[in-house]
Amino acid sequence: MGSPMNKRIRIGVDVGGTFTDFVLVDEERDQIFTGKRLTTPHDPSAAILDGTARLLTEAGTEAEAVHSVVHGTTLVTNTIIERTGAKVGLITTRGSRDALEMGKETRYDLYDLFLESPPTLVPRHLRREVAERMSADGEVLLDFDADAFRATARDLINTEKVEAIAVCFMHAYRNPDHERQAKAILTEEFGATPFTISSDVAPEIREFERTSTACANAYVQPRMQQYLTRLEKELQAAGHSGALYVMLSGGGITTVQSARDYPIRLIESGPAAGAMAASYYSSLTGAENLISFDMGGTTAKMCLIDGGQPDRKHDFEAGRVRRFQKGSGLPLKVSVVDMIEIGAGGGSLANVDAMGLLKVGPRSSGSDPGPVCYGLGGQYPAVTDADLYLGYLNPDYFLGGEMTLDMATVETALAEKVANPLGLSVLDAAIGIHNVVNENMAAATRMHLAEKGRDPRRYQMIAFGGAGPVHAYRLAQLLKLDRLIVPLGAGVTSALGFLVAAPAIDFVRSYVSRLENLDWDHLNGLFAEMEEEARAMLTDAGARPDEITMTRSADMRHIGQGFEISVPIPSGSLGGDTLESVRESFFDSYHALFERTVRDVPIEAMSWRLAASAPVPNITLDFSGQTAGAEEKLKGSRSVYFPETGFTNCAVYDRYALRPGDALQGPAVIEERESTTVIGPGGKVSVDQYLSLICDLP
């Protein structure tokens, strides 16, 4: 595939649970084109190929002119949640076979007598042991039994027919020599079977989390390797000569080969793109502190943007038994954008539970059959159905008129499934669905802000996703925010995030030591090793070596504490002369989080991290290719429900006809092809130079 820096036409593709979103950026003409197709769950590449072909036609360009396609997918997280991954065999140190079941030896709910533990990805009969042992300092206590390992791997592959192998040895984060010997054997003798080495995918302290991450990577590896290989070949067959890149969970861009080797790093691939888009708009609008609100067909994602950058964390729980219960999922050591996801999308289904209460989500209709109004066989009303009934959506202009929504079936479904069981009118049922989903999202956002110790009054909201602009005004009211931003092309803004994200990668090495006892030569060697690996990967991803920036940090804590905090570490050679600056950096970070400083308790470092990135692509937001020909701002009016007024005659505007400097007064509905923005009474809207709607709430 071609060099990514020669050409200037790029496509971002976001495969969601209901829709697949597309953005094409033509930097040669400084134009942006957008598209949206129903996701094809049986084969996600079908919607990708169909959507990119259509987008190229609308942009008037050819596939061979595209220098790269940047892709994000929910395939990894769906595979883990649905437990549809590979049959995995685990080989570990003798005596550690049951680490996956033992976990942290804690209960995520102390008082639940019927507690359901998250199921392990590798059953016990596929977990095997071999003789080897490292000390916590990396000293060889027992040599690696290569012959026993070889026989064990052969038995798992030939007799048990496992589809992937995970290897996790004790203290391999400190000295990976035995795992590297195991890797050499697997490569030479069993190369056709995908395998994961824990010191490659998660070289961090804490055996349970490292083992869990290695097993999860192996679990999704065969499926992701097949998917990415097939997608790359199909794009080439369709005439694409450029490179295919993939979004990482931490918001960076990586190569297909890296994604094949470490697919677990893609577990939050799609949602991360929305956060990167929000960061981009933060710099454009000058709003440094934003609540990023991305509501699609299946979920709503909220992320905090502080100082123009999203919060990140270095651990994640996948496939929780209880969605909001920490400890009820599989712990993974991966870098992710720190956000909350709740089952509140346009396709989230409404039903009456056994106690006679109205519930909305987390179950979703997806793209097949979709909400009732799609006319594809949906039986239970979804959030989109309620929005249609309340007048927020135009039944004749969904996806720009490509889909016609069926109001009659919606009214019947609302009556049968919600209104009649609750003894309500159909209108009250629709209002209830709309209010419940809004309150669910507001409660989750408040909790996220509180856990972060953040004051919501410092923030503005940016809303996108197909359903986000419909619900954003009311959500901003519930959170008592004073400003809302809705970008043009809001329905596909996540896909734009792929194109404004920098090539980036995170590395980590665990080296546990009190600060005063650090082996500075060893520490400098760890950073040098990470920097060399980072340069190689980012250069392969199209970055120029002289433009790569490196940022260091460390996970530190006071001796005796059970948690760590992230602390900035200076660049350059580290030594005794930098000890005091590292110590003061810890005190500053600790005080920022807890507003106290404890200077008489020793400090311990656990892991050392390196974040490497190339410059953010410079994109000119010119949507003139899509707004050309749109001149009549006012499309007409229709009856729309607002809590303040009931149903009222509301002006409907054509988003593509609005120009910088235009001003509108709520109540108003502003329609575009992929989404609809609803502004309540009293809202004052202006259009900025990038055609974003800036709404000041009363």
Query: Mind listing the pLDDT tens digit for each residue in 141-155?
Result: 999 999 999 999 999
Neighbour tally for 101: CB within 10 Å: 12
The pLDDT value recorded for residue 623 is 67
- Does 107 share its domain with 172? yes
The pLDDT value recorded for residue 1 is 37
Per-residue pLDDT band at 622 (split at 50, 70, 90): low
- Does 414 share its domain with 509? no
- Does 594 share its domain with 636? no
- Does 99 share its domain with 187? yes
- Does 550 share its domain with 608? yes
The pLDDT value recorded for residue 188 is 94
How far is the C-alpha of 130 from the C-alpha of 96, rounded, in Å?
10
Q: What angle do CA 314, 319, 320 make, to 5 degrees?
A: 90
Of 76-85, 230-239, 286-295, give the lowest mean pLDDT range. Answer: 76-85
Reference 383, options 468, 444, 302; nearest CA is 468
Question: What is the residue range of 542's domain?
Answer: 505-613
- Does 521 share its domain with 583? yes
Unique residue bearing structure tokens 């990577």:
217
On whether residue 440 sits in a domain, the answer given is no
On whether residue 355 sits in a domain, the answer given is no
pLDDT digit string, tens, across residues 572-614: 999 989 999 999 999 999 998 888 899 999 999 999 999 998 8
- Does 601 share its domain with 630? no
On whether residue 549 sits in a domain, the answer given is yes
The yes-or-no verdict on residue 616 having pLDDT over 80 is no
Decide: helix, strand or coil at residue 5.
Answer: coil
On whether residue 176 sits in a domain, the answer given is yes
Among 418, 435, 452, the domain-final residue is 435
Q: How many CA atoms lie within 13 A of 36 on its CB side?
A: 26
The pLDDT value recorded for residue 367 is 63
On whether residue 459 sits in a domain, the answer given is no
On whether residue 646 sits in a domain, the answer given is yes
How far is the C-alpha of 3 from the C-alpha of 22, rounded, in Å?
22
- Phi–psi pair at 436, nearest 5 degrees: -65, -45
Among 435, 465, 488, the domain-final residue is 435
Among 583, 613, 643, the domain-final residue is 613
- Does 511 share its domain with 413? no
How far is the C-alpha of 369 from the C-alpha of 352, rounded, in Å?
20
**Is 15 in contact with 495 (CB distance < 8 Å)?**
no
The yes-or-no verdict on residue 10 having pLDDT over 80 is yes
- Across 328-344, b (16+ Cβ under 10 Å) vs e yields bbbbbbbbbbbbbbbbb
Per-residue pLDDT band at 254 (split at 50, 70, 90): confident
Per-residue pLDDT band at 629 (split at 50, 70, 90): low
Unique residue bearing structure tokens 């190229």:
56
- Does 575 share its domain with 649? no
- Does 575 share its domain with 653? no
On whether residue 80 sits in a domain, the answer given is no
- Does 94 share its domain with 119? yes
pLDDT digit string, tens, across residues 401-452: 777 888 889 999 999 999 999 999 999 999 999 999 999 999 999 988 888 8
Answer with the residue of higher pLDDT: 520 or 402: 520
On whether residue 202 sits in a domain, the answer given is no
- Domain count across the chain: 4
- Does 422 share its domain with 513? no
